[in-house]
């Protein structure tokens, strides 16, 4: 079963509202800090003055099911491998980062890459 949850407002708060280990897919693409983009670093940790919007990768990791998928085009990330893979670098088939094993599944249109992620052990 696939459940989509649509919510208005800040995505950082929406993540906190999800039960831990309940997120099967996290899809983040087409975002930037300019031209109306959010500027939020979801795929990476950045400390902010307001705790609920800090260290979003730690929040996402807690919310992910085991295993889960993360889709990223490398925008607004602190994870170097995501940016490299989205630019077409084939030398990044898998890596370990932020407490997760990342395995490249496929590349979608517009350079978004699908990753199978799981903590070790799952």
93-113 per-position pLDDT tens digit: 999 999 999 999 999 988 899
Give me the pLDDT at residue 114, please: 97
CA quadruple 79, 36, 26, 9: dihedral positive or negative? positive
**What is the per-residue pLDDT across 4-45, written as a single tens digit (0 to 9) for each?**
877 777 888 889 999 999 999 999 887 767 666 777 888 988
Q: Model-level pTM?
A: 0.88
């Amino acid at each position: 079963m696939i459940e989509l949850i649509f919510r208005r407002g800040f995505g950082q708060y929406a993540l906190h509202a999800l039960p831990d280990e309940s997120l099967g897919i996290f899809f983040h693409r087409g975002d930037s800090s300019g031209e109306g983009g959010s500027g939020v670093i979801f795929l990476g940790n950045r400390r902010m003055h307001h705790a609920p919007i800090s260290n979003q990768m730690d929040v996402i990791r807690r919310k992910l099911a085991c295993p889960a998928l993360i889709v990223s085009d490398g925008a607004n990330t602190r994870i170097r491998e995501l940016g490299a893979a989205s630019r077409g670098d084939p030398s990044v088939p898998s890596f370990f980062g932020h407490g997760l094993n990342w395995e490249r599944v496929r590349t979608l249109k517009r350079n978004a890459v699908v990753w199978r992620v799981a903590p070790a052990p799952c």
